[in-house]
């Protein structure tokens, strides 16, 4: 525990002490299952803590070796983990197949890639560090299903599990077993979460008393889904484990009971949100993506800023004063972006490119940036820092560009062009931004207007409505 104490002392110097105390208490007193794939969003909500501070603390904790971070590819249907990766760089497949649901999907950073945190075994040994020793449902809760899946309360869970499962079987490496089952008049899924293998038994026709036989072989490599159609009635099912580890076979009856058993959902920390976190970008600046990776994000908000007349500023006040003013402006903008759950992607001359997980955070940041520049000018008694801001939201690709994590796509281009149209200390935003319900409420509550005008964006090729927020 001395090593743990030393690391937590270091963590308190880099993260919010109140949050660190809560994490320390969880490590000391929490149940094993609470420390296996910790959901940062749920932990913050359950502890009454700020989500951004919890994320920052867990990122620092992972950097120190207190926790291990995992980038998990989730099935969009059942929430099962189709691939667990120590880094985002390991997400190289174009699509992932869920044998349990029989569906394939591509990894999408804001929908099907979650980030979770597991306590390091050198800090505290938990059951999930030895997954082959976990029971059937403990394995599903702590290893197979993502942190966004919520199971029913114990009493309801027991009843639903009894109804939705015909049988659960544990087979050691090389072991075989024959199950005698009575097929119902509903489809049945024979599934093993260890090998991600499944056999779908469709049922049709009149019930029969004839006993059928069916074999299922489990191999080290995932075999995907095999299918067969049988009449309801007796079945001898041969299960053959030819892998080198224990497997956990469940025979599930599809229907509303199974849906209620594993259908509960809660928010989780998405890869998109982590990539737009300033602490993450500071700690993992060059370690996120490979050069050849192109990962999809369905919705990300981009904010571009630029100082109007910065060249004249250097001529007017001199290089030294101008440099200090520009540096102060960068510091203010960085602090505002971070406080609004955003991250600065890069600076280009006197310009800033930042990302936010949702549009209203970018709008709030833009309004605060403009107010801060105005206040700074009042203190100096001169209109020296005039900030032009452009905002747009849409899909994009996360890429590695010039040895750092960046973004590519038309959404980025449009955001940049919108900023270029801005004049004075104006904020220009696209329709996707101002019509977001939270953005609309924010604009109304701040007592500002969003005036539309149809404009042509250079390089985009079509006229589109642009809103001046003033």
* Residue 311 pLDDT class (50, 70, 90 cuts): low
251 vs 323: which has the higher pLDDT: 251
Distance separating alpha carbons of residues 358 and 362, to the nearest angstrom? 7
Percent of the chain with pLDDT over 90: 81
Distance separating alpha carbons of residues 186 and 81, to the nearest angstrom? 26
343-365 average pLDDT score: 95
What is the reported pLDDT for 245?
A: 94
Are 372 and 312 in contact, with CB atoms under 8 Å apart? no
Q: Cα–Cα distances in Å, from 428 out to 305, 421, 434, 454?
A: 10, 8, 10, 12
41-79 pLDDT per residue, tens: 999 999 999 999 999 999 999 999 999 999 999 999 999
Percent of the chain with pLDDT over 70: 98
Strand partners, 177: 239
Closest by CA position to 369, among listed 440, 426, 439, 441: 426
Q: How many CA atoms lie within 13 A of 346 on its CB side?
A: 14
SS (H, E, C) 12-29: HCCCCHHHHHHHHHHHHH
Count of all residues that appear for the chain in the document: 470
Are 33 and 135 in contact, with CB atoms under 8 Å apart? no
What is the reported pLDDT for 384?
A: 77
* Residue 318 pLDDT class (50, 70, 90 cuts): confident
276-305 average pLDDT score: 90
What is the reported pLDDT for 316?
A: 73
Distance separating alpha carbons of residues 132 and 134, to the nearest angstrom? 6
Residues 6+ apart with CB under 8 A from 46: none
* Residue 17 pLDDT class (50, 70, 90 cuts): very high
142-163 average pLDDT score: 95
216-254 pLDDT per residue, tens: 999 987 766 889 999 999 999 999 999 999 999 999 999
311: which 2 tokens? Answer: 């060249």
190, with CB counted inside 10 A (0-12, 13-18, 19+), is: buried
Check whether 317 has a pLDDT greater than 80.
no
Distance separating alpha carbons of residues 227 and 410, to the nearest angstrom? 42
Strand partners, 269: none
Are 453 and 466 in contact, with CB atoms under 8 Å apart? yes
Are 144 and 81 in contact, with CB atoms under 8 Å apart? yes
What is the reported pLDDT for 13?
A: 96
Distance separating alpha carbons of residues 126 and 213, to the nearest angstrom? 40
339-350 average pLDDT score: 93
Residue recorded with tokens 């090729």: 461
Listed range (142-151, 312-321, 387-396) with the worst mean pLDDT: 312-321
99-117 pLDDT per residue, tens: 999 889 999 999 999 999 9
How far is C-alpha 315 from the chain's CA centre? 46
Distance separating alpha carbons of residues 411 and 302, to the nearest angstrom? 8
296: which 2 tokens? Answer: 């999809």
341-369 average pLDDT score: 95
Q: How many CA atoms lie within 13 A of 240 on its CB side?
A: 8
DSSP string of 198-246, one letter each residue: EEEEEE-SS---SPEEEEEEE-SS--EEEEEEE-SEEEEEEEEE-SSS-
* Residue 309 pLDDT class (50, 70, 90 cuts): low
Average pLDDT for the chain: 92
Check whether 125 has a pLDDT greater than 80.
yes
Check whether 1 has a pLDDT greater than 60.
no
Longest CA–CA span in the chain (Å) reads 95
428-437 average pLDDT score: 96
Distance separating alpha carbons of residues 354 and 343, to the nearest angstrom? 6
């Amino acid at each position: 525990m001395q090593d743990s104490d030393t690391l937590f002392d270091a963590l308190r110097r880099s993260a919010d002490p109140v949050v660190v105390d809560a994490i320390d208490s969880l490590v000391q007193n929490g149940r094993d299952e609470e420390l296996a794939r910790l959901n940062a969003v749920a932990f913050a909500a359950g502890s009454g803590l700020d989500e951004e501070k919890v994320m920052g603390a867990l990122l620092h904790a992972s950097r120190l070796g207190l926790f291990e971070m995992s980038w998990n590819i989730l099935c969009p249907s059942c929430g099962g983990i189709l691939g667990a990766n120590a880094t985002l760089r390991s997400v190289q497949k174009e699509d992932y197949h869920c044998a349990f649901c029989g569906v394939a999907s591509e990894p999408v950073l804001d929908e099907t890639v979650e980030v979770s945190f597991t306590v390091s075994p050198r800090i505290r040994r938990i059951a999930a560090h030895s997954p082959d020793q976990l029971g059937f449902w403990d394995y599903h809760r702590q290893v197979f299903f993502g942190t966004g899946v919520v199971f029913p309360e114990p009493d309801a869970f027991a009843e639903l599990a009894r109804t939705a499962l015909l049988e659960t079987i544990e087979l050691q490496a090389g072991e075989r077993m024959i199950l005698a089952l009575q097929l119902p008049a509903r489809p049945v899924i024979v599934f093993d979460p260890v090998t991600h293998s499944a056999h779908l038994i469709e049922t049709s026709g009149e019930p029969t008393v004839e006993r059928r036989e069916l074999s299922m072989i489990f191999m080290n490599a995932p075999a995907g889904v095999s299918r067969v159609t049988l009449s309801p009635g007796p079945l001898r099912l041969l299960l053959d484990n030819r892998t080198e580890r224990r497997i956990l076979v469940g025979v599930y009856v599809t229907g509303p009971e199974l849906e209620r058993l594993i259908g509960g959902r809660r928010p989780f920390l998405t890869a998109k949100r982590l990539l737009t976190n300033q602490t993450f970008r500071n700690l993992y600046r060059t370690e996120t993506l490979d050069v050849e990776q192109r990962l999809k994000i369905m919705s990300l908000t981009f904010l571009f800023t630029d100082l109007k007349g910065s060249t004249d500023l250097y001529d007017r006040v001199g290089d030294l004063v101008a440099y200090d003013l520009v540096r102060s402006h960068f510091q203010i903008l960085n602090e505002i972006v971070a406080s609004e759950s955003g991250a600065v992607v890069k600076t280009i001359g006197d310009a800033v490119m930042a990302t936010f997980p949702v549009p209203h955070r970018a709008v709030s940041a833009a309004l605060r940036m403009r107010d801060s520049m105005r206040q700074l000018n009042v203190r100096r008694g001169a209109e020296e820092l005039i900030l032009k801001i452009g905002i747009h939201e849409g899909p994009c690709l996360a890429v590695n560009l010039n040895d750092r994590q960046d973004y590519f796509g038309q959404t980025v281009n449009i955001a940049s062009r919108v900023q270029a149209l801005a004049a004075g200390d104006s904020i220009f935003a696209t329709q996707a931004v101002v019509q977001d319900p939270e953005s609309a409420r924010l604009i109304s509550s701040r007592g500002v207007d969003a005036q539309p005008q149809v404009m042509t964006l250079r390089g985009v090729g079509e006229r589109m409505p642009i809103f001046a927020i003033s």
